[in-house]
A and B are shown apart, each in its own frame.
Chain A
Amino acid sequence: MRVLVVEDDRETAHFLQKALKESGHAADLAGDGETGLSMAEEGAYDVLIVDRMLPRLDGLSMIKEVRAKSIRTPVLILSALGEVDDRVKGLRAGGDDYLTKPYAYSELLARIEALARRPSPEEQETRYVVDGLVLDRLSHRVTRDGEPIQLQPREYRLLEYLMKHAGQVVTRTMLLEHVWDYHFDPQTNVIDVHVSRLRAKIDKNFDKPLLHTVRGAGYTIRDGPG
């Protein structure tokens, strides 16, 4: 995946470039909004990571211009401003996701991977399949190896989100934001308990676990070893 990092702090930018490279992605750097804009226009990137405070052209204006030029590349906004209002402003400007500094690199990675592989609305699948686990989005039914699994509505949505991003790491914050629509810190690790309940229902009576915990990052559903 090719990533464009628009960030004026050289240290952060180089850290991201190095970390992304180690995660198997190629990253280009732009130090200000104008350079970022022209690079986003020319290069074919899978994801743009844009800092909010940039010299010459600030992050939000840059994103607006990118969108005005019909470039649909997903954008992750990085910002030190993390309140609800700031997030809303960022998403309104055309950003697809918003991450507050300081962040864990694993969080950033999980988010850009989710963004890059986000299907457009028309190509959304009606069935998610991971190994023998099938989630039918039309009938809201879940089966594993043909056996029906009874889920609470919230558990269903949790599984749906995990399966939509099957093979990718999904962080606790991402779950809280997308399954519960909360943008605040719930203090206790409430998500873990929900996930372990879900795991009990989908994995308990089967030899092969599908829902894995990724240490220091979050969770992933995949057919294969955790």
Chain B
Amino acid sequence: MALASPLTRAVSTSAFRAAAVAVAAYLVCAGLVIGLLLWQTNRILTEQVLSTLQSEAQLLEAEARGGDLQGLEHAVEVRSRPEGPGLYFLSDRSGAKLAGNLSHVPPEISATGGVFQYVRAGGDPAEPRLGVAIPMDLGNGIRLVVGRDIEDQRRFADEMGTLYIAGLGFLSLTGLIAGLVISRVVLRRVETINVATRSIMQGDLSQRIAISGSGDEFDVLADNLNTMLERIEALMNGLREVSDNIAHDLKTPLTRLRNQAEAALMDPRGEGAYRDGLEQTIEKADDLIKTFNALLLVARLEAGVLKENAESFDVGRLVHDVAELYEPVAEERGLELRLDIADGARLIANRQLVGQAVANLIDNAIKYSAKAAQTASHPPTIDIALTKRGDNVEIGVADRGPGIAPEDRERVLKRFVRLEKSRTETGTGLGLSLVQAVARLHGGAVRLEDNRPGLRIVLTLPAPPADR
């Protein structure tokens, strides 16, 4: 069973079936072509023999017309070389042989002619040869049978037949073997994919399907599967990250909230303490809800929902309005908002989400420049710029805060990542993740740059071509 199993499996593959059908069709065609070829060759050869016979017979008949029996006998004798292809039998009225290299002629040949067997003079009687002959009546009972030895042709035909059958046999065998080999190869490739997918199904998402490098359809399939796996793995990692984050970043404030309530209960001051404690508890709960909402929003954006509800709007106006919303806060913290907004830039996007993203960028910039503002002699600026670049709109928010080291820039876009020095700031740690998610949802991108000093975050969003 163990031995038979790979063979049975190879035979049962679709590749083997396809190969078998192809080989069978090929064999039928080859059989037809070769058969036709054989038949045609045989026909041409036979025709040639017959026409030679005919012309020879006419020649001898002309000689006999002279009435010189002696001369005819002589001519036949001359032609009757023992080993030659020509066969002759000249007989008189009584049927007795006068000349020729045939010892006798079968009666049916002397009447109508045709194919017959004979034994060569001096040849082995056990090895009759094949000949073809036509009879001629030369008058006065004299009969001449002119024939041709076709033993060589018969052998040739026999050999061709044998070769033909052997060839077909060989072809079928090769086809069968080729089919098996192909299906084994296919099976092996499929098997590697199966092994990989099975181990993936068991939970090892890091597995990849080996690529042979030949660039064939199996490589394409494997490559597609690998790409799919990468996407799944990224999603799974994202999910795991989210649950880890929830565990970490939501549990901490939940614990604090709980502690707060407990502390209030234990407070000996009684009712007043309860009220304070409850108010603070509600405040903390509200913060938690905010974080939770932001987390859900990022998750939903990353899943690609909310794509509907796109509207065409003046993005410069939006950036201007959001900046205006934050302007008093910035001023209060000793910062100056400077706007440089290109005219007439429009986006087809979810206005609320883009607004939220811009708000997050400005909010971030204000938060992280506040410290710089305390020591500066004149207000540090936050530069908010909107530029049109090709088919894109770039919204840049640049601050004069501490900036972010190049190696950390990628990281801060992730959920809940807050650099150590900013841990003390209020916020969910989701601001930039949300900006990133909004960008991705709309087919855009976020990049972080050095503002020398400070940080510049540029949100790029694809804009529809103008005048439409």
Contact = CB atoms under 8 A, between A and B. Distances in A.
Contacts of A186: 325-326, 359, 363
Given A190-B325, A194-B328, A185 B290 contact: yes
A216 interface: yes
Interface stretch (B78-86, B235-243, B293-301, B445-453): B293-301
Contacts of A188: 326, 329, 363, 366-367
A82 interface: yes
Interface in B21-35: none
Question: Which among A84, A88, A187, A197 has the highest number of chain B CB atoms within 10 Å?
Answer: A187
B353 interface: yes
B306 to A, nearest CB: 6
Question: Which among B290, B294, B355 has the highest number of chain A CB atoms within 10 Å?
Answer: B355
Contact of B282 (A83, A104, A182): A104
B360 A187 contact: yes
A84 B353 contact: yes
A75 B55 CA distance: 118
A85 interface: yes
B328 A190 contact: yes
A104 B350 contact: no
Contacts of A100: 293
Query: Interface SS of chain A: helix, strand, loop or mixed?
Result: loop
B300 A182 contact: no
A186 B332 CA distance: 16
A102 interface: yes
A205 B336 CA distance: 28
B221 to A, nearest CB: 37
A183 interface: yes
Given A104-B286, A184-B355, A188-B363, A84 B306 contact: yes
A193 B309 contact: no
A128 B363 CA distance: 34
Given A183-B352, A184-B355, A185-B293, A84 B309 contact: yes
Contact of B355 (A82, A85, A154, A182): A182
Contact of A84 (B350, B359, B431): B350
A15 interface: no
Contact of B329 (A85, A182, A190): A190
B226 interface: no
B289 interface: yes
Given A83-B300, A84-B306, A104-B286, A154 B324 contact: yes
Interface residues of B, number: 34
Contacts of B305: 83, 85
Nearest to A183: B352
A185 B291 CA distance: 10
A194 B356 CA distance: 18
Contact of A85 (B290, B306, B363): B306
A196 B269 CA distance: 34
B279 interface: yes
Query: Interface SS of chain B: helix, strand, loop or mixed?
Result: helix
Contact of A184 (B282, B328, B356): B356
Interface in A184-215: 184-188, 190, 193-194, 197
Question: Which among B328, B363, B366 has the highest number of chain A CB atoms within 10 Å?
Answer: B328
B279 to A, nearest CB: 7
A159 to B, nearest CB: 15
A20 B333 CA distance: 40
Contacts of A180: 321, 325
Given A84-B352, A84-B353, A182-B355, A190 B326 contact: yes
Nearest to B290: A185
A83 B306 contact: yes
Interface string A102-113: 101000000000
Contacts of B359: 182, 184, 186-187
Contacts of A193: 328-329, 332
Contacts of A82: 293
A187 B352 contact: no
Contacts of A194: 325, 328
B334 to A, nearest CB: 13
B167 interface: no
Nearest to A153: B324
Contacts of A84: 306, 309, 350, 352-353
Contacts of B363: 186-188
B293 A85 contact: no
A184 B362 CA distance: 14
A137 to B, nearest CB: 22
Interface of A: 82-85, 88, 100, 102, 104, 154, 180, 182-188, 190, 193-194, 197, 216
Given A84-B353, A183-B352, 14 more contacts: A85-B305, A85-B308, A85-B309, A182-B352, A182-B356, A185-B294, A186-B326, A186-B363, A187-B363, A187-B427, A188-B326, A188-B363, A193-B329, A194-B325
Interface of B: 279, 282, 285-286, 289-290, 293-294, 297, 300, 305-306, 308-309, 321, 324-326, 328-329, 332, 350, 352-353, 355-356, 359-360, 363, 366-367, 427-428, 431
25 contacts: A82-B293, A83-B305, A85-B305, A85-B309, A102-B289, A104-B286, A180-B325, A182-B352, A182-B356, A182-B359, A183-B352, A184-B352, A184-B359, A185-B293, A185-B356, A186-B359, A187-B359, A187-B360, A188-B326, A188-B329, A190-B325, A193-B329, A194-B328, A197-B328, A216-B282
Q: Which 3 A-B pairs have the closest CB atoms?
A: A184-B356, A193-B328, A84-B352
